[in-house]
A and B are shown apart, each in its own frame.
Chain A
Amino acid sequence: MDGTRMELVIPLRAEFVSIARLTLSGVANRAGFDFDTIEDIKVALSEVCNRLIGDAAGLDGRRPGGGEFGAEPPDCKIEFLLSKRDLTLNFRVGAPDGPELAAFESDMEDDSALGLSLISVLMDEFDLNPEAGCVVSMRKYLENE
């Protein structure tokens, strides 16, 4: 299982978040996480998607600096990296032919703050803007390692 990489691309729309959760369930189960931990990671994944959907909608088809997403929401690419020690999720967002969404802002309020606090507790590592093109990265360790 070491070094296995998978990728899911979904439209950044509310109705597709459940598909991302289903995919995650399969991947995390394969990695050897128990049921409760898989439920925790599912919540963390959804919280990131919720925020990114909010960001994309809030931009009203435009990103700061002028690039346009157009009528369709951008895609969200979720990368699953499996190792013997952990599962890492990387999120990238971009219009099919356009620029990537600027950032996963850290100055969250209200429900977003609730979501951020959940991610912080449920995941072992959580990075905002960890590298160019990647808006969020988070990691969960396998307990037996």
Chain B
Amino acid sequence: MSSGLTIKEKEEESAVQIEIGGEVDIYTCQELKDKLYQCVDQSGKDLVLDCRNLNYIDSTGLGVFVAVLKKVKLIDRQITIVNLKESILKLFLITKLDLLFAIKRGEVAHSEAK
């Protein structure tokens, strides 16, 4: 069965850009967690999560974001989330996770995201 999740990674000078697409749910969240943990371990850089193609996320996916944020904080780095769709931004606001993450509103190009 297709996972419905796509992850594209691009390492830049000061951060790793990760474009997350498709759906993050109970079936795909472990794949996302493994990939993001790997990025943190291998690069040691800030993460920029570009969610322009992320169509769906629920609490399992939000839980992965929080777990990765904890891991990133341990090495004194940060996560920036860009290009969230309104329906997904709403979930961050309801759960107050917008207070934990740096979220850039509006269209953010790759070069501006750091």
Contacts and interface: CB of A to CB of B under 8 A. Distances in A.
Nearest to A119: B59
Contacts of A114: 59, 62-63, 95
A50 interface: yes
B23 A18 contact: yes
A111 B87 contact: no
Interface on chain A toward B: helix, strand, loop, or mixed SS? helix
B26 A49 contact: yes
Nearest to A37: B87
Interface residues of B, number: 18
Contact of A47 (B56, B59, B90): B59
Of B58, B62, B63, B90, most A-chain CB atoms within 10 Å: B58
A128 interface: no
A43 B91 contact: yes
A42 interface: yes
Interface string A47-62: 1011001000000000
30 contacts: A17-B27, A18-B4, A18-B23, A18-B25, A36-B86, A36-B87, A39-B56, A39-B87, A40-B87, A43-B56, A43-B58, A43-B91, A46-B26, A46-B58, A47-B58, A47-B59, A50-B25, A50-B26, A50-B59, A110-B63, A111-B59, A111-B60, A114-B62, A114-B63, A114-B95, A117-B95, A118-B58, A118-B59, A118-B95, A122-B94
A8 interface: no
Interface of A: 14-15, 17-18, 21, 36, 39-40, 42-43, 46-47, 49-50, 53, 110-112, 114-115, 117-118, 121-122
A14 B61 CA distance: 13
